[in-house]
Chain A
């Protein structure tokens, strides 16, 4: 059994075990926990175990099948639609952010002054909550336009997702482009290969093991950016909005908000899976490098 299959199998077992463990913990807590939660020094440190706050997991699953509102579509269809909507936005944001990150990395590798001037900001940008800008960028929609195209809500969300995806890609790709050993660079110089050819034939292939872990991080960041962005802009049709809507009805319909949560989780898994798929053809015979982007 080759390494990829073994890793895949291990992940599947891990996922299965995790789900079982989670179900046990959840239902187990409901059995033993007090319906009012546990209050310590006036602070509730353990959640309420009643059905309103923590519905039975089976109820959540059943809720998926029943209609959203009285006489509406089943919940799982609504959730799936919302997922697809947000997925589209995330994809656009992820692609744009990754592309810009890649270009900036190439620029930083080419010109050391750009690296010295910009890299500290790129690294530090990952330490600050830039996603907090989401409500502010939301003000653009309805008031800006690119010529004939008015700025729409979903563009804001895409922009936020792109913004978050950009940073890990820029840092990871730069490390990758700088990774070839001196012998390799000297070799290309001995072939009188210019900067561009050295980039294409040496630096780019050498950077791939650094790019993919960064892409995974960027994908997860893009999902978070899209969800938070949707909430800040109030964009209809996405999973973020759905989470907020359902959570408002939590007192009357506790299981519904968990279904939306499931949708968000699936979104994250889809993006991670996509990066994993990209990796398959491009990383054969290559070892992976975990790069520290922060």
Chain B
């Protein structure tokens, strides 16, 4: 586990203002419009994620962070506004598989071996069997599970299953990684370990990441930008840049870390719940 600090940490925003990895413009999302159970999940949200950035969306339940992530993934469509991923509309980006996604449940197929699970997106892309296998083995090595290729998901622990899910998400080498509370179901120790590994992988693959969580410490540790959201209606209330000199276990005890946590906590507390 190397600690080449500068290279390991997600770098500051690259100064290429033209090409944003993700661009969310004036997006509003209303569920069940016109029905008695109508819900205004997001209201006039703007967000720009530059290439190579690690952005975390954080906020209390109902603030729309998961909704926003799903809008970026084109799993749902906005009621108003546009979303651009890698310079294309979100729908096109999905069809061209410009991103990889990981959820809170690993979503592994219990009837496939670990290796075959990682091969899934490659299979759907029509990659040849030999190429698939090689690539999948490479990804498993990247997440530290090379010996478990022939195991079934049920035989793995929760943390290991999530690592397989991450390997699967990265299998197609997407420029963008979307993660919806992937470590939410794991214990604290496993979570911290996986956070460190994730940072290393993202640095190695130079992936832009949008990460959703409700853990302040996780947000601060992982990202160089924390976007605070608040509910009713869902909107972005603050964007806090996190500039930690290092991102390793020592960093979790550093004053800069605690300062950043305080800043985020303040922003979360201060977020007014005001209807437009």
Contact = CB atoms under 8 A, between A and B. Distances in A.
B97 interface: yes
A183 B107 contact: yes
Given A183-B105, A189-B75, A285-B152, A197 B111 contact: no
A286 interface: yes
A268 interface: no
A201 interface: yes
A191 B121 contact: yes
Contacts of B198: none
B110 interface: yes
B73 interface: yes
A218 B37 CA distance: 41
A18 interface: no
B189 to A, nearest CB: 24
A191 B168 CA distance: 11
17 contacts: A183-B103, A183-B104, A183-B105, A184-B109, A186-B70, A186-B73, A186-B101, A187-B103, A187-B107, A189-B75, A190-B75, A190-B94, A201-B124, A202-B109, A205-B112, A285-B111, A285-B154
A193 interface: yes
Interface in B177-212: none
Contact of B73 (A190, A193, A286): A190
Interface string B96-125: 110111011101011110000000110110
Interface in B140-158: 152, 154
A202 B124 CA distance: 12
Contacts of B152: 285
Interface in A185-244: 186-187, 189-193, 197, 201-202, 205-206, 208
Given A186-B103, A192-B97, A201-B124, 8 more contacts: A181-B107, A183-B107, A184-B107, A186-B73, A190-B73, A190-B101, A191-B97, A201-B123
A192 B101 CA distance: 12
Contacts of A197: 124
Contacts of A206: 109, 111
B75 A186 contact: yes
Interface residues of B, number: 24
Contacts, number: 53
Interface residues of A, number: 18
B194 to A, nearest CB: 18
A197 B124 CA distance: 8
B111 A205 contact: yes
Nearest to B94: A192
A201 B112 CA distance: 10
A283 to B, nearest CB: 9
Contacts of B124: 191-193, 197, 201
Contacts of A187: 101, 103, 107
A205 B109 contact: yes
Interface string A154-195: 000000000000000000000000000101101101111100
A57 B152 CA distance: 50
B120 A190 contact: no
A181 B75 contact: no
B191 to A, nearest CB: 19
B73 to A, nearest CB: 6
- Top 5 A-B residue pairs of the complex, sorted by shortest distance between their CB atoms: A183-B107, A183-B103, A192-B95, A183-B105, A205-B111
Nearest to A184: B107
Contacts of A184: 107, 109
Contacts of B154: 285
